[in-house]
Amino acid sequence: MKAILLAGAGGTEQLQYTTLPVPEPGPGEVRLRVRALSVNPVDVKTRKGGAFFSKLQEAPPAILGWDVSGVVDALGEGVAGVGIGDALFGMINFPGSGRCYAEYVVAPVAHLARKPEAITHEAAAATTLAALTAWQVLVHEAGLQRGQRVLVHAAAGGVGHFAVQIARHLGATVVGTASTANQEFLRTLGVDEPVDYSAVDIRDAVVPVDVVLDPIGGDTTLQSLRLLRPGGILVSIVGGAKEPVLAAASESGVTAKNYLVHSSGADMEALAGLLSSGALKPQVESRFPFEEMAAAHAQIETGRTRGKVIVLP
């Protein structure tokens, strides 16, 4: 099979195209023939030597990628409930080694869900790590309830545009920040109160909220604490809840915490249901052939991607 090895930490020249044996599924695993995969900011950070780089090096071959949609072509021992030819999608082995930059991927069946028939493989691959992050933060960590107010930073981005739709599905009022160029996109997503962070100070523009989803960190995390109602919660997915933030949160009677998404077939099933009903619609900004993975990484590195970047083997 064709695959892309991560030869070392650094630029896109470290993404090396090669041919490897097709992997065999172990107990509880299936093998997918990949139809589409998704690229995330964490892929870029890992390529550069970020937090998960060492984990990939510990279990060669070092292959990036965690998000995939494909068709089952082999079953491991003990796998039940799925069969050859079934279309499945999910985020694999995160934060371990997913090895999705390949034509075939072996995955625990417990990390996957059935792809809705009406949804393309592209849309399914897009609705994985970013969508799982939004779902797990809002549902499991923040316990977002109908009638509450939620502030979603970078609401036009990968995690953000899913968070907006999930929050609306849950019955919350959504405040979303984005640049001037993305204000209309926020409205099409259903953001109730779009905020142009480049034109106004969010501390003056946002009425207090119950929940903040923070994918930015830095000063934004600290400033956002002041926008929380007493008893509110801020969840940072970029490690923004550092000691000064935690201290300020304690003094203000609110909660701040960091969160890292994890693979979950049960949560993928919930997302599949939202895809089927039309409550969740991924925005795919860019599509690249497998041979142009470097260009896909370059798109992510612009920091201006609206929605998701997809790669097609």
Q: What is the pLDDT of residue 298?
A: 97
81 exposed, middle or buried (CB, 10 Å; 0-12, 13-18, 19+)?
Answer: exposed
Give yes or no: residues 303 and 250 share one domain.
no
Domain annotation covers residue 72: yes
Give yes or no: residues 137 and 86 share one domain.
no
Give yes or no: residues 114 and 188 share one domain.
no
Asked if pLDDT for residue 59 goes beyond 90, the answer is no
Q: Tell me the per-residue pLDDT of 143-170, one tens digit each, with 9 for 90 and over.
A: 999 999 999 999 999 999 999 999 999 9
Output the domain CATH number for residue 297. 3.90.180.10
Separation of alpha carbons 151 and 115, rounded Å? 30
Domain annotation covers residue 247: yes
Give yes or no: residues 218 and 305 share one domain.
no
Separation of alpha carbons 221 and 241, rounded Å? 7
Domain annotation covers residue 266: no
Confidence of residue 134 (pLDDT cuts 50, 70, 90): very high
Pick from 125-129, 277-281, 300-304: least confident: 300-304
Asked if pLDDT for residue 60 goes beyond 90, the answer is no
Give yes or no: residues 161 and 238 share one domain.
yes
Give yes or no: residues 288 and 170 share one domain.
no
Domain annotation covers residue 44: yes
Domain annotation covers residue 276: no
Give yes or no: residues 110 and 147 share one domain.
no
Q: Which residue has the tokens 């203000």?
A: 252
- What is the domain extent for residue 104? 2-127+282-312
The number of beta carbons lying within 10 Å of the beta carbon of residue 291 is 12
Give yes or no: residues 122 and 142 share one domain.
no
Closest CA to 73 of 111, 105, 38, 110: 105
Q: Tell me the per-residue pLDDT of 32-55, one tens digit each, with 9 for 90 and over.
A: 999 999 999 999 999 999 989 988
Point out which residues pair with 235 in neighbouring strands: 213, 257
Q: What is the pLDDT of residue 283?
A: 97
Give yes or no: residues 118 and 142 share one domain.
no
Relative to beta strand 67-75, strand 87-91 is antiparallel
Q: Tell me the per-residue pLDDT of 286-298, one tens digit each, with 9 for 90 and over.
A: 999 999 999 999 9
Give yes or no: residues 287 and 222 share one domain.
no
Give yes or no: residues 141 and 231 share one domain.
yes
Give yes or no: residues 123 and 142 share one domain.
no
- Name the residue type at position 282: P
Asked if pLDDT for residue 255 goes beyond 90, the answer is yes
Give the angle 106-111-117 at the CA atoms, nearest 5°: 90
Give the number of domains in the chain. Answer: 2
Domain annotation covers residue 263: no
Output the domain CATH number for residue 138. 3.40.50.720
Domain annotation covers residue 273: no
